Amino acid sequence: MYSQCCTKKNPAVIINTGSKQGITNPPGNAAYNASKAAVKSLTEGLAHALRERNGGGNVTAHLFVPGYTFTGLTGAKAGTEKPAGAWSADETIDQLRVMWAAADVAQGRPALSRWHRDYKALFEEYMREGQALAAEGVSMK
């Protein structure tokens, strides 16, 4: 599949679905956390390889982290209410990184642009501004 999609002349995007738990690794669901951490690592490695092999080419890989989804895999049981939202004030930095990564796709930046030489300074500024707003109690949602 890799060789077929890399020969296309049209741009293509590979999107893998991850989880915040693969980034933050909270206790209580080690197998799920490990599997989503592996998806994150695989996606980042693929993104880097595609960028290096294709000179920033027409195929990119991105990690999509949709937020907390209440399913049987995450511990949902019949009649149990869904817990409050995935993000707390203490986790705003994670939210900033997720939003930046989503914008890689939406704005046509290269995958993992926060480490790309052309976007690194912009990402650092974005994080400083977001952290300052969070410190003032401004929601980033």
Domain boundaries, the chain: 2-135
d(CA 20, CA 102): 13
pTM to 2 decimal places: 0.52
Tens of each residue's pLDDT in the chain, 141 residues: 455 555 556 788 899 988 878 887 777 788 988 999 999 999 999 998 988 876 667 888 998 877 665 555 555 555 555 555 444 434 445 678 778 888 888 898 887 788 788 999 999 999 889 888 877 777 655
DSSP 8-class letter at 132: H
d(CA 81, CA 16): 28
H helices of 21-119, where? Answer: 21-24, 30-53, 92-106
